[in-house]
Structure 1
Amino acid sequence: MRPVVILRPEPGAGKTAARAAERGLEARVFPLFAPRALEWHAPAPERFDALLLTSANAARLAGEGLARYRKLPAYAVGRATAKALEEAGFADVVVGDGDGTAVARRIAADGHGHVLHLAGRTVAPIDAGALRIDRIAVYEMLRTGEEGWAERLEAGSVLLVHSPRAGELLARHVGPERRSSFHLIAISPAALAACGAGWASAQAPDKPDDERMLALAVRLCE
């Protein structure tokens, strides 16, 4: 059986590994980054019509300031982000199965105009359309100190890439001469593009979801 290599940070990596094990997959965890909270000033919630989070890490690491926005309509990209918001005390979170741009369109369609986006220091581009989006970085992703991880990847492995930044790092460390030995599953088209070309196979699920990524992995490992 092909091993599944999970490159996302903890605690998400461990959760993905547990889901993979439930499906009978051999999972290996190689986190490329670790999240770290940033100091930030929480602006008055009255300034905004809605709250947007595109990463569960923003909910986990925003700290006490996040609670100020519990009365705002909350929107999340992906189920994991929505769950993290709910665990932080938010009710009736609207879950978007698409990317940030798709959720921005949903927010606008719901009649909101001014949105607070709590995010990481580096985020995927969002086409705001008619929305005014104020983005505040509440966390950053730091490279892990482990060296030589790319050389330890076993040929035939299925690599799970959960962000464009992880895709960029993977492409930098696994050159074109080695890529034909690995299968790639990326969470989104943007993450897939960041990985470059030349892989044995490369695909993304129809929606950015961990469960859908694992479903594709099961097919590759059968």
Structure 2
Amino acid sequence: MSAGLPLLVTRADPGGATTVERARQAGLDARHLPLFAARPLDWDVPDPAAFDALLMTSAQAAGLGGPGLAALADLHVHAVGEATADAARQAGLTVATVGDSDARTLVGAMASSSIGRLLWLCGRERTVFEAAGIAVTALPVYAVDVVPPPPGWDGLIAAPAVVMGHSARGAERIAELAGDRRKHLTLLAISAAVAAAAGEGWSKKAVSEHPDDGAMLAEAHALCHKGAQ
């Protein structure tokens, strides 16, 4: 079976490399084109007693959080997406709930619980959201820096392809770099908010049914083969 249109994976590693590997195992023509690089930040561990639970919206928080995470192990994690939950477990943390939408929806579902104080282990750049009835303290533990497009980027976006957007910031950068060439590109977004951040003018925009790699790659499989027909 033909691999169909190329699938361009732009997220920072190690997540990007993992997505590419999974996509290739599924028979897709996945290209590793990270537009960002993630790195840990120095951070001070707050008093765990000041919080009821942890919030994680990216696997990078667990993967790059470092030794300070062990001091917060008594706080259970509320994670957005199964990949984030898996990373938290691998870091030695206990996962209480896994949301299948976004941070606002996940936190909103806690409004009737006994959780009133959340410590959000997040990135330096993050999307602000309202959390009625719950105090959310953001603690950046990693940064995702912009890097120049890898070799081959211009050639690949000059022809039809499917481009994955894993974050609003990523979608904005993809749109900026694609410019008018987006008219023959398909944007596959991890959420509706990410799709909105990419703007208009794409050949097609699609939103993953769930905010995780499995759902995105299932959608990518359909898009890559449909677009190649």
Give yes or no for TM over 0.5.
Answer: yes
1:81 and 2:84 correspond: yes
Distance 1:147 1:20 in 2: 19
State the 4+ residue runs in structure 1 displaced beyond 2 angstroms.
106-110, 145-150
Tell me what 2:103 maps to: 100
Tell me what 1:42 maps to: 45
Distance 1:61 1:217 in 2: 28
Shift in Å, 1:77: 0.6
Tell me what 2:160 maps to: 156
Tell me what 1:181 maps to: 184
2:171 to 163, 167, 170: 167
Tell me what 2:134 maps to: 131
Distance 1:21 1:109 in 2: 43
Distance 1:121 1:92 in 2: 23
Q: Describe the SS at the equivalent of 2:70.
A: helix
Shift in Å, 1:109: 3.0
Shift in Å, 1:150: 4.4
1:14 and 2:17 correspond: yes
CA gap of 1:147–1:221, structure 2 versus 1, over 3 A, is closer
Shift in Å, 1:90: 1.4
Q: Deviations over 1:27-75 (max 9, x none)?
A: 0011010111111111100000111111110111111111111111211
Distance 1:148 1:17 in 2: 16
Unaligned residue ranges in structure 1 (runs of 5+)? none
Q: Which moved more, 1:135-144 or 1:204-213?
A: 204-213
Tell me what 1:31 maps to: 34
TM-score, scaled relative to structure 1: 0.94
Tell me what 2:206 maps to: 203
Distance 2:149 2:183 in 1: 24
Unaligned residue ranges in structure 2 (runs of 5+)? none
Amino acid at match of 1:166: G
1:215 and 2:218 correspond: yes
Q: Deviations over 1:140-198 (max 9, x none)?
A: 111124467642224111101101111111111111x3111111101111111111111
Q: Describe the SS at the equivalent of 1:66.
A: helix
2:5 to 2, 24, 34: 2
1:53 and 2:56 correspond: yes
Indicate the RMSD between aligned Cα atoms, in angstroms.
Answer: 1.5
Distance 1:16 1:190 in 2: 21
Shift in Å, 1:206: 2.5
Amino acid at match of 1:101: R
Tell me what 2:116 maps to: 113
Q: Deviations over 1:76-96 (max 9, x none)?
A: 111111011100111343111
Amino acid at match of 1:195: A
Distance 2:96 2:25 in 1: 27
1:193 to 180, 193, 196: 196
TM-score, scaled relative to structure 2: 0.92
Distance 1:147 1:89 in 2: 34
CA gap of 1:38–1:103, structure 2 versus 1, over 3 A, is same
Q: Is the 8 A contact 1:158 1:182 kept in 2?
A: yes
